[in-house]
Structure 1
Amino acid sequence: MGHEFEIRTEAELPASPDQVWQAIATGPGIDSWFMGRTEVEPGEGGAVRTVFGGYAPEQPVTAWEPERRLAYGSVPAPDGRFAAYEFLIEGRAGGSTVLRMVTSGFLPGDDWADEYEAMTRGTALFFHTLVACLTHFPGRTAVPVTVFGPPVTNWARTWAAVRQGLGLEDSVTEGDRVRFSPDGGAPVKGVVYFANEDTLGVRTTDALYRFLKGFRGPLIAAHHYFSTVDTQEAERAWLAWLERHDGREQRT
């Protein structure tokens, strides 16, 4: 049967329209809040190309109005599946900017509901990460580090282990204090900037750390470092951390 969907999000940001445009319409900007690595071929008729894991979509740009409007999306598949993204930028007096993001598309099949729920929760994390990036790191770009953990057999245990590893209680809310140590790294202190059933985002003075429930897949660590980082070493450390907090019985 399938399902057409549209997800609308909006925020007022303490950033200029140009800073917002750089964050949504350039590869380094998107790298600072989405997942994996992105390249942008500018202009209407260009494309947004993202790579993470085995996923490498190329999405044609359908609207390109610098500091005003950006739209791009996938080409519909034979079964009708597609996703499209539109960003609307409105400058306000005093230097702030209102950003509106619309995610729309079509999910095929009779089992679309679970995928839609996961997409809604993931989209919420991405948008709140973009807001955190523009609020706390305006004009800066980050190095992305994306790591896929081992297969998950019990998500309740896995999320409990992740919360414990971050020094959090069972009930997590925005503003909760976090303390953790990536394998081989110094202790890190931060604060929760977003959380829902499938995702958790933590902000520190120089990074945004995120944990996501992969749809029918593993736990994903998708972080952004606003500082110099050895990506290979960071990937190694976070893979070890995910393996130690996978929710299985504690190992000695």
Structure 2
Amino acid sequence: MPVETAADGRRSVHAQIDVDAAPEVAWAAVATGPGISAWFVPTDLDGRTGGQAVSHFVPDGSMDSIATIAVWEPPVRFVAGTHEEAGAIETEWRVDALDAGRSCVRVTHTWRAPDDCHDAQFEGYAHGWPLFFRILALYLRHWPGRRCAAFQATGVADEPAEHAWAAFAGPLCLFGVEAGDAVETPDGEAPLAGIVETAGESELLVRLDKPAPGLAHLTAYAMSGKVYLTARFYLYGDGAASAAASAQAAWQAWIAERFAATGG
């Protein structure tokens, strides 16, 4: 999304999605720790003015994002602030009612700057949200309110990204599939079966039957001369935790046999 500028020097970007959920259900998904963890990254959230929201981007806590809640207006709006290279950042979450029990979820990042020196960084944030919002929408459509067991496994390959993606997706029988296709990895490979929701050049989002009901996002993205291959899983239901533990071990072993480890 393009950066919007205001007369008082504020700059902002936003992203939004309409979801098939009543406002109170959508609010629980974006304003509670278990809700956010079910479609984004593991998150702890103390829902009150002055409370903290902590997003854990890697298991060891080295990339935690810690925000302090400045405005808490359930079930419609909250604002959390962080301090980054760009200075003080405000992130506002809103849930607005639509017709027929549907809702609009919107996130806005706002900062002050005299020029466009940080615009690319925040445009990157805005472009990243649509993927997670697709996961949010599917979560709310199929498993609203269900607790989630999530994991990811990541490896590294040499560029170009299209070759790395072929080496990643090919042995899993996932290369060249399209939205709507039923897919299943072969016996002896990392476990996955389900229906492809979206398919891109080097990306898949799959609604899962195996290893448990849930979602899997597989992608290859180039950064700093390397290609990072990631399988991110969100599993839901009573057996999700045990299924996630078993599947995580299998996926990590499968990736480690074929690609360099990242420690993530």
Q: TM-score, normalised by structure 1?
A: 0.77
Give per-residue Cα distances to partners, 1:213-233, cap 9 Å, x unaligned.
375463222211103233443
Relative to its length, the structure with more strand (as a share) is 2
Give per-residue Cα distances to partners, 1:157-190, cap 9 Å, x unaligned.
12223332453444x6543433225967655222
Q: 1:211 aligns with which of 218, 225, 232?
A: 218
- Between the aligned partners of 1:96 and 1:111, the Cα distance in structure 2 is 34
What secondary structure sits across from 1:71 in the alignment?
strand
What amino acid maps onto 2:82 in structure 1? S
Give per-residue Cα distances to partners, 1:132-151, cap 9 Å, x unaligned.
11112122121111223235
Structure-2 residue corresponding to 1:69 = 77
What amino acid maps onto 1:148 in structure 2? T
Give per-residue Cα distances to partners, 1:176-216, cap 9 Å, x unaligned.
43322596765522222x34456432112411111243754
- Identity among equivalent pairs (%): 26
Structure 1 position 47 matched with structure 2 position 65? no
Unaligned runs of 5+ in 2: 5-10
Q: How far 1:10 sits from its partner (Å)?
A: 2.7
Unaligned runs of 5+ in 1: 248-252
Structure 1 position 222 matched with structure 2 position 229? no
Structure-2 residue corresponding to 1:201 = 205
What secondary structure sits across from 1:175 in the alignment?
coil
Q: CA RMSD in A?
A: 3.4
Q: How far 1:58 sits from its partner (Å)?
A: 0.7
Larger radius of gyration: 2
- Between the aligned partners of 1:182 and 1:72, the Cα distance in structure 2 is 46
Please give the residue correspondences for 1:1-252 in structure 2 after superposition, counting only pairs within 5 Å.
6-35=12-41, 37-53=42-58, 54-77=62-85, 80=86, 84-104=90-110, 113=120, 119-170=125-176, 173-180=178-185, 188-192=193-197, 194-196=198-200, 199-205=203-209, 206-212=213-219, 213=221, 215-216=223-224, 218-227=228-237, 228=239, 229-230=241-242, 231-243=244-256, 246=259
- Between the aligned partners of 1:182 and 1:42, the Cα distance in structure 2 is 45
- Between the aligned partners of 1:119 and 1:152, the Cα distance in structure 2 is 25
